[in-house]
Amino acid sequence: MKKIFDYLDCLEEELISLRRDIHQYPELGFTEYKTSKKIFNYLKGLGLEVDMVCDTGVIGLLDCGEGPTIALRADIDALPIVEETDFEYKSKIEGVMHACGHDGHTAILLITAKLLVKFKNLLKGKVKFIFQPAEEGPGGAKPLIDAGVLEQPRVDKIFGLHIEEGIETGVIGVQPKEASAAADELDILIKGKGGHASASHQGVDAIVVAGQVITSLQTIVSRQINPHSRVVISLGKIKGGYKRNVIADKVEISGTVRTTNPEVRRTLPKRIEELVRGVTLSQRADYSLDYNFGYPVLLNSTTLLKEVEDDIVSNPLINRLKYLSLPSMGAEDFAYYLKKVPGVFFRLGAGESSRDYYPGHHPKFTFDERALKIGVGLFVSLVLGQLD
Ligand SMILES: [Zn+2]
Ligand SMILES: [Zn+2]
């Protein structure tokens, strides 16, 4: 064990420079051509079997003979954000930024592969390294699974992690069951009747109707859902109207619906539609509504978590395994893998307690780079625990 961690110390500099290199050249979902090429070449250089999947996904396989197959996943995409940090390694691509730490996830998984290759004589089984595109949308996990990444060899267990600047470096956070919310898309079109603003009775003002729809929708969460259930309905976009003296004939409203209970989730499209129908009918307006189920709830395997607990707490780089009582209401498409195979998604503490950090998706987002080595250590402990 000591040898492994000594070698990891030697790799820390490379780990940080890999992260900074990826940080400078961020790419959006399904356009990660340069990033995936770098990953492909790096894994090839390690002597792994490497495949490309869904254009920009990269799968590496370390085959150490008979035994189970453990998959480790990193997401590799960035966000359409103009970076506002003043690091010398800030984004060189205008309007694109690694503002969610996926640069770190990618570097962690590359160095994990390098380290496991070095100590492959200790392993009995296979390790599949999944570098997944488009986690920030439209979602890379599902197409990768459909393309067969969990087969040949069949993956028995899967692990993933996310950098969390809100958790202290050295601490690994984990939710024992629900870890991230389901995220669904809601689009509503309110159809009114245009006219002169001075003769409002002759038209049907879609803006007034939209106002009522928006306000009423919030009563689903506050009045119709059990307060112990977690539901968020946020309408992030509204568009309508032409001019101050024209009655708007239509308004478009788009939003997101977050839930952690699959049964409550199933009831929401109907509740929302009933409410929109009732409000628009009462105002002589009409509507159309699209409800699309997006990323599912991320459900960690409680049994597997118990199984790996000792491997984590005995890791010298990890100060503490912290059980988080509440799931994140954010969404994470790692959830799709967990619908197929047991696995656990960890929160990699990456914040110094003495510092304030801008959160993920902020133009000034950053994290404590000392966490990168701990991320590698976590993955290595998990694999050794399973394949030793
Ligand atoms: Zn994100
Ligand atoms: Zn993320």
What distance in angstroms lies between residue 100's CA and the mean position of ligand 1's atoms?
5
Q: What is the dihedral of CA 368, 373, 377, 383, to 10 degrees?
A: 110
Q: Which of 292, 317, 343 is the last residue of a domain?
A: 292
- Does 228 lie in the same domain as 217? yes
Say which ligand is closest to the CA of 105. Answer: 2
Which residues line ion ligand 2, judged by CB < 5 Å? 100
Q: What is the pTM of this model?
A: 0.94
What distance in angstroms lies between residue 201's CA and the mean position of ligand 1's atoms?
46
* CATH number of the domain residue 244 falls in: 3.30.70.360
Give the residue-averaged pLDDT of 87-96: 98
What distance in angstroms lies between residue 76's CA and the mean position of ligand 1's atoms?
11
pLDDT at res. 353? 81
Q: How many domains does the chain have?
A: 2
**Catalytic site positions:** 77, 135
- Does 319 lie in the same domain as 284? no
- Does 214 lie in the same domain as 111? no
What distance in angstroms lies between residue 100's CA and the mean position of ligand 2's atoms?
5
Residue type, 383: V
Burial 242-277 (b: 16+ CB within 10 A, else e): eeeeebbbbbebebbbbbbbeebbeebbeebeebbe
Kindly give the pairing relationship between strand 57-64 and strand 125-132: antiparallel
pLDDT per residue over 247-269, tens digit each? 999 999 999 999 999 999 999 99
What distance in angstroms lies between residue 180's CA and the mean position of ligand 1's atoms?
12
Say which ligand is closest to the CA of 75. Answer: 2
pLDDT at res. 27? 98
Give the residue-averaged pLDDT of 187-207: 97
- Domain assignment of residue 201, given as a range: 182-292
pLDDT at res. 352? 87
CB-based contacts of 48-54 (< 8 A; 24+ apart in sequence):
48/113, 48/117, 48/129, 53/144, 53/147, 53/148, 53/149, 54/30, 54/133, 54/140, 54/143, 54/144, 54/147
Q: Which of 244, 272, 292 is the last residue of a domain?
A: 292
- Does 245 lie in the same domain as 151? no
What distance in angstroms lies between residue 84's CA and the mean position of ligand 2's atoms?
18
Q: Which of 260, 292, 324 is the last residue of a domain?
A: 292
pLDDT at res. 44? 98
pLDDT per residue over 315-365, tens digit each? 999 999 999 999 999 999 999 999 999 999 999 999 988 888 999 999 999
- Does 145 lie in the same domain as 134? yes
- Does 70 lie in the same domain as 115? yes
pLDDT at res. 85? 96
pLDDT at res. 1? 82
